[in-house]
C-alpha cells in the first residue's frame, strides 16, 4: 500500500529519483537518436537500417514479434553489440558507438534484461548496494564503507519494490517476479537518465503488473523510459507512444490505437498467429 | 578507524577468520614446541623432516588460497597459477644461488656452477641485483605480479573468458616451462637451481633455519588469508562475485569488469609468488617442472576438494591432498595416481562444494560468503 | 677398398657373362661349410676375402648366406661346429636351421651358439656385392636401386663393366643412374666433362663428388664444379621450400587428427575432455594389440585397427560420458577437472595392466620409406598416409555433420539446447552419440600416431595441450576452423624451426596463439550471434 | 639365547662362513631404494628397483652380510624432483637406512645431493651422467663422459673414418655438457668448426622431419658423417623412425647413441635401425657366463622371458656388490668407515672384467660399442683394450681442467685444484 501512497504524492518522496545534473546535453532535441543502424549475424540481418528517436522524459513502448530485433537494439544502445553501420547518439554530445558498457552505464543509461539477471549469490541488499550510484573505480570500491545515508537510500528502494522482508536473503531464492522487481530496483539505484526495460512484467501477477505500470509511468518525465513488452494489455496500460519493430526496422510508430489499426502491423501479427 | 584500512581490519572481526587464524597459530606453536622441547627419541618429537614437510604443505596452502581467490570469487579458472608460484620460486632461488658465492664446486665468486661448466663468461644482466635480499624479495612479488598484469591486461581487456581463458593460462605456463627448460635462458635448464647454502646468513641445513622458515610460512599464510578475506568481504569482493555470476549485468551497472578482474588476478599472482619463494628454500630446489600444466591443474583440484569460494576450504584441500600424496607414495606407489584420479572425479561429481560444503551443511546457512559458495554457478 | 673392387669386378663379370647359369650352380657342401666356418674366426680383412670366395662359388644358396651374414644371423654351434642360420634370435633359446641343407634344427640356447660378427663396413661390402648382382635383375626398379647403391663406389674396371651394362640397359632412369655412377668416378679421376653429366643431378652422392672436386686443387675443375654446384643449389632451394611445406602439412595433419575429435566434444557439447589424449592413446594401443593378435601381418592389423581403434575409443568415450560427464551438464570447467582425473586413471591403468614401457608398433612395408619426387625431394610414406588419413577423416566428419540426421540434431543442440529439446530431439541421445563420435575420432588419431611416435602411457599427454590450442585457435564448434588452425600451426612451426630451433619455435607458436586469442577471443572462425553468448 | 656369542662370531674374521649357517642375530641392514615408480621416469627406473630387490634377495639367501640380513626400504619419488629430496630425507632421517641406491636423472641427483651430504648418507648412482661432480657421500657407478662419449668418438674417427659430426641432444644438462666436452675434444683433434653441427630439442620431441633432413643435407658434403646422439628416452622412437623413412641407413650416416639401451629398443621396431650404434659399458648380448647367469636370474625373477637387462642394471649389480664387500672389509655399516673401506674395492662386472672403486668415487669400466640388431639387441663391434677409470672433472672443460677429486686421507677433497693447490674450485 505504502508504495501506492508514495506513487500518488511522489514529488516530495522520490526526490532521490530526480536526475542529478548529468553531462547529457538534451537542450536541442532527443535524448536517444539512432540512425540507419544495421547489424547482421552470419548473414542474418538482426537490425536493418533502424531509425529511432526517444525524447527526453518520454515513455516509449516497443513491440514486435520474436526476432524483430528488440533485444539486439538494446544490446546496441548499451554497447554490448557493435552495429555494422549507422550512428547512435545519447543526447547531442555522446556518440555511444565509441563507448563501452560501463561508460554508457555511468553516463546514465540503465538496462533491465529480458530474463531477469540479479546476482543470485549476493543478498537482495547487496544487489542494490552494488547498483548504487557511487565511485566505481577499484580502490574506492575496495575501501568503500557502508554509510548510513546509503543504507537509507537502499532501504527506501527496498520498500518500494516490496522486498524489505527478504533484505538479507540471497537473491537466488527470489521468485521470478521478485527478481524482476529487484532488477528494477537496481535500475532505480543507478539514477539513470534513460531506462531500457526489457519485458518487465513477464511472469508477474496482475497486481505486480499494476505496480510495475505505476512505477514506470511515475518515472517517465524525470527519466526517459523505453519498454519492450509482449503483453499488449500492459503496453496499452502505460503506452503513450508505441513503436512496432519488424525484421529489424521500424514498421509503424504512433499511439497505441494508430498502430493497432495499421494494416501492416495487423498482417505481421496475424502472420505470427497463423 | 580510517576508511582506507578498514577493508583489512574487517576480516579480523569475523568469526570464521578468527577461528582459522586461531587454529593456524595453535598448529604452528604446537609444532614448534614439540620440535624444540621434546627429546629426539620421544614419540611426541617432531623431527626437522616433519617440520619441513609441514612447511611445504603451508606453502601449497597459500598457493591454493591464491587460486581460490580468482576461481572462487572471480570465476576465473586459472590453469597457469603454477607459473606464478614457480616465478616467485625462481626469484628466491636466484637469491639463494648468489648467496652460495665461492662455495660452489668451481669456487667461482660470481657465477653459479651451472654457468661455469657451460662456460659462460659473465653473469646475464637479469641475474644482477639478486645478491641483495631486498631486491630479490621485491622481485618475488613484482615478477609474478608483472606477468599477471600484462597477461591479464590483454586477456580481460578483450574479454577472453571461461574455457578460453583457462586454456591460454595453460598455454602460458606450458610456454614458460619450455622456455625455462632451455639452458640458454640461464636458469639452469632442467636441473634448475639447487645446492643452496644459506638464506639471510642462516645456514639452510640447520634445524633452526628450517623451523624459522616454517614459522615464516605460517605467518605468510595468515597474512595472505587476511588479505584475501579482506578483499572478498569488501564491496570489491561483492563486485567480483557479481562479475563471476553475471558479468554483463555488472558492466551495465557501470563497473569496469576487466579492471576488477585484473586487480584480483594480480593480487592472487603475487600471493602465489610468495608461496613459491617460501617453498624453494624448504625443498631445496626449483626447476621447470613446477611450470608443468599438470601441477597447475592439481592445485585447482586441491581447491575443489576443499571447497570453492571459502578460502579456508582451499587450505584444507591443499594440506589433505599433499598429506595423502606423502603417505601414498610411500606405502602404495602404484595406487597413488589411481587415488588422485578418482579423487578428481568423485569430488567434482559428488562433492561440488567440497569439504567446506559438508561443514556448512552442519551449521545452517549463514550470510557470510561461505553461503555464497553454495550458489556458485560455473 | 681394393679387395671389394676386385671381387666386385669378378662377380660382375661372372654375372654379365653367365648370368642364367648361376642360379643352378651348386658347390660341394663341405667346401661351402668350411668357407662359412672360416668366416667365424676370420678378422675383418680375411672376412672380405671369404665373402668374395662365397659369392664366386655362384652357389644358389650364396645369396642366402650373404644375407644371413649381413643380418648377423650366421652362427656356429660351439660344440659341433655346424654352421647354422638363426631363424629367430629373440629370447633365451634361438631357432636355427642348417646353413647348407636348410633343415630346421629347432631351438638351441644362445649360450651354445657363436654368431659371426658383422659391422657396418662389412654390411656395406655385402650390399655392394649384392647390388652388382642386382644390376642384372629383371625388375627395372631393382636395377635402379642397385645402380644407385653403386654411386661413388665405382673404380676404373667396374666403370668399364658399367659402360658395357649401360649399352645394354634400355630403361632410361637406370641408364641415367649408371651414367651418373660412371661420371662420379670420372670426376674423381679429374675428368671435367663428367661435370656436365652431373651438373643437373640432385643426388647427394653426386653433389658430394662435386663438392670434393670444388675443394680440390685443380683450379679449372674446381671452378667448373662450383659452377655446377651453384646451379644445383638453386634447384635445391625450391625443393627445400617444397619440403618444408610438406613437413608443415604433415605436422599440421597430425595436429588436426589429434584435435578434430576434441573440436566435436568441446565445440558441440562444451565438454573440456582432458582425457582426450588418453582416448588417442587407447587407439594407439589398439593398433599394438591388433599386431599382437595378427603376428606377421602388420599391414592387415593396421587396417583392421582403424575400425577397431574407433570402436574402442568410442566405447571408452561413451562410458566416460555416461559415468561422469552427464552429471556435469553446463559446468564445463568442472568437466575439465573430472576428465583430467580420468586421464590420470587411464594412464596408470595402461602402466599397470600393459606395461610402463613403450610398445613396439611395426610399420608395414607399404608405409615405410619414402616416394622420390626427385633425387633431392622425397616424401616420407608414413606421413603421406597420415595426411591422406587426416583429410579422409575430416571429410567423413563433415559429411556426418552436414548430411546426416545426427549431424542436423547435433547442430540443433549446439545452437539451442532447450529449443532442440522442445522440437523432440533427444538431447541425451545426441550427447552420447556426439561424445562417442568425438572419442572414436580420437581413437583414429591414435591409430595414425602409432605409425609416427611412441606408443606408451604418456602418448596422450604429449598431444592434449596442442589439441586444445588448435581447437581454440580455430574457433570452438567449427570443424573448418580446426582444419585451418591445425595445418597453419603445423606449417608455421616448421617454417620457424630451422632458424629458431625446435624449442623456441614451439614457444613462439604458443605465444602467437595467446596473442591471437587476445585479438580474436573466439578464434579464427567464431560463432556469431546470440547463440554464442554464454 | 646366546645372542652375544653370535655377535662376537659375527664380528670375527669368520663372519661370512659362520653367519651363513647362523640366523641373522642383529637388526637388519636397511637398504633404501629411491627410484620413481610412477610418473614419466617410471619407464626406466622401475626395472632398477626390481634389480635391487633381486640382488638383496639373493644376498639374503647367502646369509646376508656380517650375519645381518638386508632389508629393502622402497619409496616412490614419483618423477618429481623436489619429492626426491623429501624422500631421501625420509629414508635417512625416519627410516635411518644405511645406504641408498637410486636416482636416474641428473636433476633428481642434484636435488638429493644436499640432503645426502647434510645427513651423511651413502648414495649409489647407477646411470651414465655428465660428470662435473664428486661428492663425499655419492658413488657414481654409471659412466662419466670419458667412459662413454670420448671412446665412442674415437671409434668413429679411427675405425669408421668420420670427418663430419652432428651432435644432437635433448636440451638438458647431460647432453649439453657431453656435447661441450666432445666439441672441445673434436676441435683438439683438428676438426673444423664448420664440420660440427649441434642441435638441441625439447624432451619428448616428436616431430623430427626438418632436423633429420638438415642432418641429411649436412651429411651430403662429401665427407663421412656421423650423428652423436644424446637424445633422451621417448624422443628416440620418432627420431629413428624419421631416419629410416628419410632413407638414412647406418651405412650412410651412422648414429651413435649414449642414452639408447636394450630397454629403450624394446619399444622400437628395430628393423630399420640395424647397424646404428650405441656406446655403453655393458650390453645384454655380451657373451659371458656371469652375464648369462645374471640374465637368467633376472628373467626368473620377473617371470617373463622377454625382459631385458641394461647398463644401469649392471651398474647397480656392481655398486651393490661393492657395498657388500666394503661392509665386510669395514666390519660395520658405519657410513664413514664404509666410505673409506670401499675405495680400492674391486668386484667382477658382467662383461668378464673387474670394476674398481676409484678415490674419486667413480669406478673403472670397459667401454663397448655395439651395433643394433634386428632383435633389439646390440652386437659388440669394438671395445676398449682395458678398463677406463671414470673422470669426475673433464679435461675438456675450461672450468674443470685442473680439478681432481680424491676422497682418501689426507686430501679428502672432491674439487681439488692442482693449479692453485687448494681444495675448492677452479682458478678461473
* Beta-carbon contacts of residue D70 (< 8 Å; ≥ 6 apart): D28, D29, D30, D31, D56, D59, D60, D64
CA–chain centroid gap for D181, Å, is 18
Would you place residue C232 in the very low, low, confident or very high pLDDT band (cuts 50, 70, 90)?
confident
Tell me what the mean pLDDT of segment D34-39 comes to.
86
The percent of residues in chain A predicted with pLDDT above 70, rounded, is 88
Q: Find the closest chain B residue to C470 by CA distance.
A: B167
pLDDT at res. B378: 35
C-alpha cell belonging to residue D138: 655419492
Size of interface C-D (CB pairs under 8 A): 155
Residue C401 burial by CB count (10 A; 0-12/13-18/19+): exposed, middle or buried? Answer: middle
pLDDT at D122 over 90: yes
The answer to whether residue A227 sits within a structural domain is yes
- Note whether A212 and A204 are within 8 A (CB): yes
List the domain boundaries for chain C: 2-123, 135-215, 239-359+381-532
* ipTM summary value: 0.84
Q: How far is B137 from chain D (nearest CA, A)?
A: 22
- Mean pLDDT score of chain A: 81
- Note whether C96 and C105 are within 8 A (CB): yes
pLDDT at res. C26: 61
| Contact between A44 and C530 using a beta-carbon 8 Å cutoff | no
Q: Find the closest chain C residue to B300 by CA distance.
A: C337
pLDDT along chain B (378 residues), means of 10: 72 90 95 88 84 95 97 92 97 94 84 83 91 94 96 89 86 93 87 90 90 96 96 93 90 91 96 97 93 92 90 94 84 79 87 84 52 40
- Note whether A118 and A182 are within 8 A (CB): yes
Tell me what the mean pLDDT of segment A62-66 comes to.
83
Give me the residues of B, 35-64, that contact D with CB < 8 A. Answer: 47-49, 52-53, 56
CA–CA distance from D376 to each of B8, C34, D284 (Å)? 67, 30, 10
Whether omega before C443 lies within 30 degrees of 0, making that bond cis, reads no
Interface test with B, best of C274, C510, C526 (most B CBs within 10 A): C510
pLDDT at res. D183: 93
In angstroms, the CA D316 to CA D312 distance is 6
Chain A residues inside the 8 Å CB shell of B310: none
Q: What is the length of chain C?
A: 534
| Contact between C528 and A41 using a beta-carbon 8 Å cutoff | yes
Size of interface B-D (CB pairs under 8 A): 135
pLDDT at C346 over 90: yes
Mapped onto helix, strand or coil, the DSSP state of residue A93 is coil
Helix-then-strand count for chain A, H and E: 12, 10
Tell me what the mean pLDDT of segment C327-336 comes to.
82
C-alpha cell belonging to residue C62: 650364396
The percent of residues in chain D predicted with pLDDT above 70, rounded, is 93
User: In 3D, which of C420, C367, C391, C375 has the Cα closest to residue C531?
Assistant: C420
- Note whether C46 and C38 are within 8 A (CB): yes
Q: Count CB neighbours of C443 within 10 A.
A: 31
In angstroms, the CA D127 to CA D119 distance is 23
Residue A228 burial by CB count (10 A; 0-12/13-18/19+): exposed, middle or buried? Answer: buried
Interface test with D, best of C45, C502, C503 (most D CBs within 10 A): C502
CA–chain centroid gap for C69, Å, is 26
Q: How far is A266 from chain B (nearest CA, A)?
A: 35
The answer to whether residue A10 sits within a structural domain is no
Chain B residues inside the 8 Å CB shell of A170: 371-372, 375
Tell me what the mean pLDDT of segment D291-319 comes to.
93
Chain A residues inside the 8 Å CB shell of B4: 143
C-alpha cell belonging to residue B170: 595453460
pLDDT at res. D136: 92
C-alpha cell belonging to residue D154: 674415437
The percent of residues in chain C predicted with pLDDT above 90, rounded, is 23
In angstroms, the CA A162 to CA A182 distance is 9
- Neighbouring chains of B at 3+ CB pairs within 8 Å? A, C, D
Q: Establish whether domains D3-143+288-365 and D146-286+369-389 are of one fold.
A: yes
DSSP D69-97: -EEEEEE--TT-HHHHHHHHHIIIIIS--
In which domain, by residue range, is A200 found?
29-273
Task: Please tell me the CATH code under which domain D3-143+288-365 is placed.
Answer: 3.40.50.2300
What residues does D125 pair with on adjacent strands? D140
pLDDT digits (tens, 9 = 90+) for D300-313: 999 888 889 999 99
In this complex, the residue of C254, C368, C506 whose CB is nearest that of residue D272 is C368
In this complex, the residue of D85, D403, D424 whose CB is nearest that of residue B284 is D85
Give me the residues of C, 342-361, that contact D with CB < 8 A. Answer: 348, 351, 356-361
B260 interface with A at CB cutoff 8 Å: yes
Q: How far is D400 from chain B (nearest CA, A)?
A: 7
Chain A residues inside the 8 Å CB shell of C530: 41, 71-72
Looking at mean pLDDT, say which of A225-234, C508-517, D34-43 comes out highest.
C508-517
pLDDT digits (tens, 9 = 90+) for A24-59: 766 767 888 888 999 888 778 888 888 888 888 888
Would you place residue D255 in the very low, low, confident or very high pLDDT band (cuts 50, 70, 90)?
very high
Tell me which H or E stretch contains D260: none
Cα angle, residue B268 at apex, residues B263 and B274 outer, rounded to 5° = 130
B366 interface with D at CB cutoff 8 Å: no
pLDDT at res. C335: 87
In angstroms, the CA C24 to CA C61 distance is 10
What residues does C88 pair with on adjacent strands? C95
Chain D residues inside the 8 Å CB shell of C373: none
In angstroms, the CA C467 to CA D84 distance is 32
B194 interface with D at CB cutoff 8 Å: yes
- Mean pLDDT score of chain C: 83
D214 interface with C at CB cutoff 8 Å: yes
Interface test with B, best of D32, D35, D38 (most B CBs within 10 A): D38
| Contact between B158 and C519 using a beta-carbon 8 Å cutoff | yes
Would you place residue A125 in the very low, low, confident or very high pLDDT band (cuts 50, 70, 90)?
very high
The answer to whether residue A267 sits within a structural domain is yes
Tell me what the mean pLDDT of segment A149-157 comes to.
89
In angstroms, the CA C434 to CA C262 distance is 11
List the domain boundaries for chain D: 3-143+288-365, 146-286+369-389
| Contact between D234 and C458 using a beta-carbon 8 Å cutoff | yes
pLDDT digits (tens, 9 = 90+) for C11-32: 555 554 444 444 445 667 778 7
In angstroms, the CA A100 to CA A202 distance is 28
Q: Find the closest chain B residue to D425 by CA distance.
A: B106
pLDDT at A7 over 50: no
**Positive or negative, the Cα torsion across A196, A201, A202, A208?**
positive
* Beta-carbon contacts of residue C218 (< 8 Å; ≥ 6 apart): C190
pLDDT digits (tens, 9 = 90+) for C68-80: 888 888 888 888 8
CATH of the domain at A209: 3.40.50.300
With DSSP H G I counted as helix, E B as strand and the rest as coil, what are the percentages for chain C, rounded to 5?
A: 70, 5, 25
| Contact between C118 and D379 using a beta-carbon 8 Å cutoff | yes
What is the pTM for the complete model shown?
A: 0.87
Would you place residue A11 in the very low, low, confident or very high pLDDT band (cuts 50, 70, 90)?
very low
A46 interface with C at CB cutoff 8 Å: yes
Would you place residue C223 in the very low, low, confident or very high pLDDT band (cuts 50, 70, 90)?
confident
In this complex, the residue of C324, C342, C518 whose CB is nearest that of residue B158 is C518
Interface test with D, best of B47, B60, B107, B336 (most D CBs within 10 A): B107
Q: Find the closest chain C residue to D37 by CA distance.
A: C356
Q: How far is D142 from chain C (nearest CA, A)?
A: 22
In this complex, the residue of B108, B183, B333 whose CB is nearest that of residue D176 is B183
pLDDT at C248 over 80: yes
pLDDT at D8 over 70: no
Residue given cell 561429481 in the structure block: B349
First to last CA, chain C: 75
**Chains C and D touching, counted as 3 or more CB pairs less than 8 Å apart:** yes
In angstroms, the CA B216 to CA B202 distance is 14
B240 interface with A at CB cutoff 8 Å: no
pLDDT digits (tens, 9 = 90+) for A226-259: 998 877 888 888 877 888 888 888 888 888 888 8
C-alpha cell belonging to residue A215: 512505477
Chain C residues inside the 8 Å CB shell of B354: none
**Total domains in the fold of chain A:** 1
Q: D146-286+369-389 belongs to which CATH class?
A: alpha beta
Q: C239-359+381-532 belongs to which CATH class?
A: mainly alpha
B3 interface with D at CB cutoff 8 Å: no
Interface test with C, best of B74, B150, B335, B378 (most C CBs within 10 A): B378
Amino acid at each position: 500500500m505504502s508504495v501506492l501512497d508514495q506513487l500518488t504524492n511522489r514529488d516530495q518522496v522520490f526526490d532521490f529519483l530526480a536526475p542529478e545534473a548529468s553531462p547529457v546535453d538534451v537542450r536541442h532535441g532527443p535524448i536517444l537518436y539512432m540512425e540507419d543502424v544495421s547489424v547482421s549475424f552470419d548473414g542474418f540481418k538482426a537490425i536493418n537500417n533502424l531509425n529511432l528517436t526517444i525524447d527526453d522524459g518520454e515513455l516509449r513502448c516497443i513491440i514486435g514479434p520474436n526476432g524483430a530485433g528488440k533485444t539486439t537494439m538494446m544490446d546496441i544502445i548499451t554497447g554490448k553489440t557493435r552495429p555494422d553501420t549507422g550512428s547512435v547518439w545519447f543526447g547531442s554530445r555522446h556518440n555511444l558507438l565509441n563507448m563501452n558498457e560501463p561508460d554508457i552505464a555511468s553516463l546514465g543509461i540503465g538496462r533491465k534484461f529480458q530474463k531477469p539477471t540479479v546476482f543470485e549469490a549476493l543478498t537482495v541488499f547487496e544487489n542494490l548496494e552494488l547498483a548504487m550510484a557511487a565511485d566505481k573505480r577499484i580502490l574506492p570500491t575496495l575501501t568503500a564503507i557502508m554509510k548510513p545515508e546509503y543504507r537509507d537510500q537502499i532501504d527506501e528502494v527496498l520498500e518500494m519494490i516490496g522486498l524489505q522482508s527478504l533484505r538479507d536473503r540471497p537473491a537466488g531464492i527470489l521468485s521470478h517476479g521478485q527478481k524482476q522487481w529487484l532488477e528494477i530496483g537496481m535500475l532505480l539505484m543507478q539514477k539513470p537518465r534513460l531506462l531500457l526495460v526489457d519485458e518487465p512484467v513477464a511472469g508477474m501477477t496482475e497486481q505486480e503488473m499494476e505496480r510495475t505500470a505505476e512505477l514506470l509511468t511515475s518515472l517517465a518525465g524525470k527519466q526517459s523510459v523505453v519498454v519492450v513488452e509482449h503483453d499488449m494489455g500492459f503496453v496499452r496500460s502505460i503506452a503513450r507512444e508505441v513503436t512496432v519493430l519488424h525484421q529489424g526496422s521500424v514498421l509503424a510508430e504512433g499511439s497505441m490505437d494508430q498502430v493497432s489499426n495499421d494494416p501492416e502491423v495487423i498482417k505481421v501479427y496475424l502472420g505470427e498467429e497463423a | 578507524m580510517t576508511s582506507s584500512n578498514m577493508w583489512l581490519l574487517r576480516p579480523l572481526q569475523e568469526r570464521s577468520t578468527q577461528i582459522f587464524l586461531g587454529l593456524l597459530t595453535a598448529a604452528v606453536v604446537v609444532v614448534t614446541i614439540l620440535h624444540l622441547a621434546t627429546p629426539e627419541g620421544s614419540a611426541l618429537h617432531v623431527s626437522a623432516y616433519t617440520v619441513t614437510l609441514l612447511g611445504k604443505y603451508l606453502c601449497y596452502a597459500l598457493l591454493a588460497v591464491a587460486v581460490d581467490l580468482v576461481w572462487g570469487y572471480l570465476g576465473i579458472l586459472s590453469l597457469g597459477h603454477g607459473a606464478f608460484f614457480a616465478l616467485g620460486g625462481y626469484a628466491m632461488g636466484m637469491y639463494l644461488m648468489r648467496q652460495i658465492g665461492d662455495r660452489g664446486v668451481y669456487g667461482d665468486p660470481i657465477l653459479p656452477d651451472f654457468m661455469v661448466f657451460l662456460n659462460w663468461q659473465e653473469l646475464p644482466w637479469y641475474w644482477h641485483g639478486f645478491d641483495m635480499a631486498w631486491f630479490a624479495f621485491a622481485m618475488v612479488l613484482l615478477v609474478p605480479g608483472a606477468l599477471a598484469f600484462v597477461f591479464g591486461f590483454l586477456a580481460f581487456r578483450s574479454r577472453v573468458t571461461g574455457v578460453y581463458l583457462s586454456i591460454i593460462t595453460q598455454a602460458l605456463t606450458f610456454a614458460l616451462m619450455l622456455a625455462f627448460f632451455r639452458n640458454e635462458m640461464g636458469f639452469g635448464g632442467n636441473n634448475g637451481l639447487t645446492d643452496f647454502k644459506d638464506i639471510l646468513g642462516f645456514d639452510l641445513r640447520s634445524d633452526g633455519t628450517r623451523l624459522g622458515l616454517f614459522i615464516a610460512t605460517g605467518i605468510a599464510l595468515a597474512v595472505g588469508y587476511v588479505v584475501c578475506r579482506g578483499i572478498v568481504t569488501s564491496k570489491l569482493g561483492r563486485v567480483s562475485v557479481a562479475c563471476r555470476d553475471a558479468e554483463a549485468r555488472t558492466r551495465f551497472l557501470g563497473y569496469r569488469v576487466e579492471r576488477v578482474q585484473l586487480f584480483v588476478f594480480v593480487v592472487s599472482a603475487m600471493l602465489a609468488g610468495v608461496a613459491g619463494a617460501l617453498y624453494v628454500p624448504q625443498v631445496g630446489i626449483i626447476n621447470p617442472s613446477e611450470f608443468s600444466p599438470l601441477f597447475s591443474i592439481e592445485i585447482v583440484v586441491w581447491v575443489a576438494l576443499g571447497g570453492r569460494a571459502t578460502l579456508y576450504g582451499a587450505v584444507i584441500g591443499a594440506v589433505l591432498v599433499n598429506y595423502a600424496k606423502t603417505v601414498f607414495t610411500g606405502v602404495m606407489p602404484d595406487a597413488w595416481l589411481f587415488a588422485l584420479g578418482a579423487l578428481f572425479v568423485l569430488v567434482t561429481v559428488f562433492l561440488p562444494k567440497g569439504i567446506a560444503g559438508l561443514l556448512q551443511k552442519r551449521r545452517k546457512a549463514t550470510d557470510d560468503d561461505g553461503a555464497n559458495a553454495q550458489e556458485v554457478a560455473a | 677398398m681394393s679387395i671389394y673392387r676386385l671381387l666386385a669386378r669378378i662377380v660382375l663379370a661372372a654375372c654379365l657373362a653367365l648370368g642364367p647359369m648361376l642360379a643352378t650352380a651348386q658347390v660341394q657342401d663341405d667346401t661351402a661349410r668350411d668357407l662359412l666356418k672360416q668366416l667365424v674366426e676370420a678378422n675383418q680383412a680375411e672376412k672380405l676375402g671369404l665373402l668374395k670366395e662365397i659369392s664366386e662359388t655362384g652357389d644358389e644358396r650364396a645369396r642366402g648366406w650373404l644375407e644371413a651374414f649381413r643380418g648377423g644371423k650366421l652362427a656356429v654351434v660351439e660344440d659341433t661346429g655346424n654352421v647354422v642360420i638363426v631363424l629367430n634370435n629373440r629370447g633365451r633359446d634361438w631357432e636355427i636351421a642348417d646353413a647348407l641343407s636348410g633343415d630346421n634344427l629347432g631351438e638351441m640356447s644362445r649360450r651354445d651358439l657363436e654368431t659371426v660378427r658383422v659391422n657396418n663396413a662389412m654390411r656395406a661390402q655385402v650390399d655392394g656385392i649384392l647390388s652388382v648382382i642386382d644390376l642384372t635383375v629383371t625388375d627395372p626398379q631393382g636395377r635402379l636401386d642397385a645402380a644407385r647403391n653403386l654411386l661413388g663406389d665405382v673404380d676404373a674396371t667396374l666403370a668399364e663393366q658399367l659402360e658395357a651394362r649401360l649399352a645394354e640397359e634400355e630403361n632410361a632412369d637406370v641408364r641415367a643412374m649408371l651414367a651418373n655412377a660412371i661420371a662420379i668416378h670420372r670426376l674423381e679421376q679429374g675428368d671435367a666433362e663428367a661435370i656436365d653429366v652431373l651438373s643437373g643431378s640432385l643426388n647427394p652422392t653426386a653433389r658430394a663428388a662435386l663438392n670434393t672436386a670444388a675443394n680440390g686443387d685443380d683450379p679449372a675443375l674446381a671452378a667448373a664444379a662450383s659452377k655446377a654446384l651453384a646451379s644445383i643449389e638453386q634447384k635445391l632451394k625450391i625443393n627445400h621450400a617444397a619440403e618444408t611445406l610438406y613437413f608443415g602439412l604433415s605436422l599440421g595433419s597430425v595436429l588436426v587428427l589429434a584435435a578434430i575429435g576434441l573440436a566435436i566434444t568441446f565445440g558441440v557439447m562444451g565438454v573440456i575432455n582432458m582425457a582426450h589424449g588418453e582416448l588417442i592413446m587407447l587407439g594407439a594401443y589398439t593398433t599394438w594389440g591388433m599386431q599382437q593378435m595378427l603376428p606377421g601381418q602388420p599391414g592387415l592389423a593396421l587396417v583392421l585397427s582403424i575400425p577397431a581403434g574407433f570402436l574402442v575409443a568410442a566405447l571408452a568415450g561413451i562410458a566416460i560420458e555416461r559415468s561422469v560427464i552427464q552429471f556435469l551438464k553446463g559446468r564445463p570447467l568442472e568437466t575439465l577437472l573430472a576428465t583430467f582425473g580420468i586421464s590420470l586413471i587411464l594412464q596408470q591403468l595402461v602402466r599397470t595392466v600393459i606395461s610402463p614401457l613403450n610398445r613396439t608398433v611395426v610399420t608395414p612395408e607399404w608405409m615405410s620409406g619414402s616416394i622420390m619426387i626427385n633425387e633431392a625431394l622425397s616424401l616420407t610414406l608414413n606421413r603421406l598416409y597420415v595426411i591422406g588419413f587426416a583429410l579422409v577423416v575430416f571429410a567423413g566428419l563433415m559429411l556426418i555433420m552436414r548430411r546426416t540426421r545426427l549431424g542436423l540434431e547435433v547442430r540443433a543442440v549446439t545452437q539451442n539446447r532447450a529449443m532442440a529439446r522442445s522440437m523432440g530431439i533427444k538431447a541425451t541421445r545426441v550427447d552420447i552419440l556426439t561424445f562417442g563420435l568425438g572419442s572414436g575420432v580420437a581413437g583414429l588419431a591414435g591409430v595414425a600416431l602409432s605409425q609416427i611416435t611412441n606408443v606408451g602411457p604418456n602418448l596422450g599427454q604429449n598431444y592434449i595441450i596442442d589439441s586444445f590450442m588448435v581447437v581454440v585457435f580455430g574457433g570452438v564448434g567449427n570443424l573448418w576452423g580446426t582444419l585451418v588452425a591445425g595445418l597453419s600451426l603445423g606449417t608455421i612451426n616448421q617454417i620457424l624451426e630451422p632458424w629458431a630451433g625446435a624449442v623456441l619455435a614451439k614457444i613462439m607458436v604458443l605465444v602467437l596463439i595467446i596473442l591471437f586469442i587476445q585479438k580474436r577471443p573466439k578464434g579464427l572462425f567464431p560463432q556469431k550471434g546470440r547463440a554464442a553468448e554464454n | 639365547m646366546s645372542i652375544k656369542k653370535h655377535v662376537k662370531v659375527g664380528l670375527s674374521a669368520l663372519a661370512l662362513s659362520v653367519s651363513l649357517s647362523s640366523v641373522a642375530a642383529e637388526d637388519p641392514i636397511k637398504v633404501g631404494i629411491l627410484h620413481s615408480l610412477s610418473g614419466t621416469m617410471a619407464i626406466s627406473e622401475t626395472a632398477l628397483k626390481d634389480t635391487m630387490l633381486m640382488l638383496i634377495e639373493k644376498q639374503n639367501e647367502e646369509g646376508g652380510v656380517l650375519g645381518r640380513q638386508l632389508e629393502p626400504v622402497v619409496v616412490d619419488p614419483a618423477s618429481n624432483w623436489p619429492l626426491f629430496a623429501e624422500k631421501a630425507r625420509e629414508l635417512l632421517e625416519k627410516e635411518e637406512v644405511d645406504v641408498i641406491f637410486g636416482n636416474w636423472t641428473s636433476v633428481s641427483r642434484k636435488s638429493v645431493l644436499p640432503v645426502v651430504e647434510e645427513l651423511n648418507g651413502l648414495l649409489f648412482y647407477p646411470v651414465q651422467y655428465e660428470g662435473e661432480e664428486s661428492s663425499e657421500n655419492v658413488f657414481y657407478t654409471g659412466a662419466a663422459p670419458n667412459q662413454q662419449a670420448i671412446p665412442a668418438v674415437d671409434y668413429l674417427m679411427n675405425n669408421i673414418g668420420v670427418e663430419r659430426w652432428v651432435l644432437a641432444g635433448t636440451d638438458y644438462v647431460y647432453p649439453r655438457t657431453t656435447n661441450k666436452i666432445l666439441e672441445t675434444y673434436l676441435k683438439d683433434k683438428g676438426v673444423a668448426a664448420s664440420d660440427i653441427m649441434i642441435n638441441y630439442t625439447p624432451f619428448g620431441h616428436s616431430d623430427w622431419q626438418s632436423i633429420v633432413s638438415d642432418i641429411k643435407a649436412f651429411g651430403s658434403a662429401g665427407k663421412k658423417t656421423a650423428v652423436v646422439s644424446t637424445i633422451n628416452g621417448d624422443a628416440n622412437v620418432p627420431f629413428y623412425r624419421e631416419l629410416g623413412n628419410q632413407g638414412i641407413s647406418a651405412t650412410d650416416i651412422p648414429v651413435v647413441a649414449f642414452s639408447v639401451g636394450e630397454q629403450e629398443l624394446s619399444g622400437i621396431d628395430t628393423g630399420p635401425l640395424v647397424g646404428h650404434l650405441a656406446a655403453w659399458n655393458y650390453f645384454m648380448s655380451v657373451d659371458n657366463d656371469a652375464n648369462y647367469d645374471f640374465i637368467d636370474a633376472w628373467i626368473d625373477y620377473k617371470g617373463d622371458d622377454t625382459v631385458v637387462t641394461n647398463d644401469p642394471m649392471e651398474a647397480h649389480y656392481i655398486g651393490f656388490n661393492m657395498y657388500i664387500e666394503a661392509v665386510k672389509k669395514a666390519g660395520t655399516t658405519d657410513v664413514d668407515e664404509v666410505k673409506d673401506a670401499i675405495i680400492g674395492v674391486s668386484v667382477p662386472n658382467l662383461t668378464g672384467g673387474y670394476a674398481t672403486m676409484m678415490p674419486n668415487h667413480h669406478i673403472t669400466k670397459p667401454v663397448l660399442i655395439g651395433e643394433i640388431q634386428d632383435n633389439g639387441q646390440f652386437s659388440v663391434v669394438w671395445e676398449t683394450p682395458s678398463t677406463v677409470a671414470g673422470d669426475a672433472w673433464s679435461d675438456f672443460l675450461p672450468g674443470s681442467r685442473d680439478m681432481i677429486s680424491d676422497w682418501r686421507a689426507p686430501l679428502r677433497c672432491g674439487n681439488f685444484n692442482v693449479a692453485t693447490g687448494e681444495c675448492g674450485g677452479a682458478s678461473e
